[in-house]
Amino acid sequence: MNPRSTSRSKPQSLRMRMKEEARAAILDAAEQVLVEQGLHAARMDDIASRVGVSVGTLYNYFEDRQQLLEALRDVRGHELLALLDAELERSQGTPYRARLHGFLRCILEHSRTHFRLFTLLLEDSIQRGASREGDLNRHMEMWREVSLRIEHLGQQGVREGTLRPEDASHYPTLLLSMMQGLVLRQLVAKQPLPVDELIAPLLRCFLDGAAPRPG
C-alpha cells in the first residue's frame, strides 16, 4: 500500500467529520430559531448568528432556506430511525409486548422533543393546501422504513401467540395509523400530552384488538 495515499486519506476523513458536525450544529440552531420566530419569519441571517458563523458560511452548506428546511426534516427522520434501531437492539430477548412498548415510546418521545418544530411543519403543510412532492416522498419513505421495523417486530408477536397470524400483513398500517392519529391530534391542538398517557391506550387498543380469538 502507498503510505502517501494513506496519509492523505486521514485528513480528508477529519475534514468530512468536521463538516458533518458543523452541518448538525447549523440544523440544531435552525430548529431553535424556527420555533422561536416562526417558519416564515426566521431568516438565514438569524440562523447564522445563532450558530456563530457568517451567512456566507451558511450558504456553503445550504443553497437556500428551503433546502435547509428539507435537510432539517430529513435529519430528524434519520434520528428517529436510529433511535428505533437502537431500541430494538437493546430489547432483544424480551417479550413482544415489552419491545413494542419501547418502540412506541421512542416515536412518542421523539415527537415530543421536537414538538414545536413538527407543529410548524404541519401548519405549513395545511396552509399550502397540499404537500410538495418532495414532502410526500419523505413521508412515504419514513412510513415504509418504520413499517418494515414494525413488521419484523410483529413476527415475534405472532410466534409468541400475542398476534393473530392471518392479519399480520395489516398490523404495520393499523399501528402506524393509530400512532399518527395520536400525534396529529396533539400537533393540531398544540398541546403535547404525557407519553405514558398515550402509550397505554395505544397498546390496549392494538393488542386487545389483535389478540387471538378464543376457540
The total domain count for the chain is 2
The average pLDDT across 143-163 equals: 96
Q: Are residue 107 and residue 196 in the same domain, yes or no?
A: yes
What burial class does residue 48 get, using C-beta atoms within 10 Å of its C-beta: 0-12 exposed, 13-18 middle, 19+ buried? Answer: buried
Please report the pLDDT score of residue 1 as a whole number: 41
Residue 29's domain comprises 1-62
Cβ distance 35 to 116 under 8 Å?
A: yes
Please report the pLDDT score of residue 135 as a whole number: 72
Q: Are residue 23 and residue 46 in the same domain, yes or no?
A: yes
Residue of 47, 121, 41, 40 lying closest to 77 (CA atoms): 121
The average pLDDT across 156-177 equals: 94
Please report the pLDDT score of residue 125 as a whole number: 75
3-state secondary structure of 79: helix
CATH code for the domain of 33: 1.10.10.60
Of all residues in the chain, what percent carry a pLDDT higher than 90?
A: 64
Choose the final residue of a domain: 62, 83, 99. Answer: 62
Most confident of 8-17, 53-62, 127-136: 53-62
Q: Are residue 79 and residue 25 in the same domain, yes or no?
A: no
Q: Are residue 168 and residue 73 in the same domain, yes or no?
A: yes
Choose the final residue of a domain: 27, 45, 62. Answer: 62
3-state secondary structure of 182: helix
Please report the pLDDT score of residue 11 as a whole number: 55
Please report the pLDDT score of residue 213 as a whole number: 64
Q: Are residue 168 and residue 92 in the same domain, yes or no?
A: yes
CATH code for the domain of 82: 1.10.357.10
136 pLDDT higher than 90: no
Gap between the Cα atoms of 161 and 211, Å rounded: 8
Choose the final residue of a domain: 47, 62, 77. Answer: 62
- In tens, the pLDDT along 20-38 reads 889 999 999 999 999 999 9
Cβ distance 107 to 81 under 8 Å?
A: no
- In tens, the pLDDT along 83-130 reads 999 999 999 999 999 999 999 999 999 999 999 999 988 887 777 655
Gap between the Cα atoms of 167 and 136, Å rounded: 27
Q: Are residue 106 and residue 206 in the same domain, yes or no?
A: yes
Gap between the Cα atoms of 77 and 65, Å rounded: 19
Residue of 138, 144, 84 lying closest to 110 (CA atoms): 84
25: left (phi over 0), alpha (psi -120 to 50) or beta: alpha
Q: What separation in angstroms does the CA of 196 have from each of 22, 100, 101, 145, 208?
A: 35, 13, 10, 24, 18
Q: Are residue 24 and residue 75 in the same domain, yes or no?
A: no
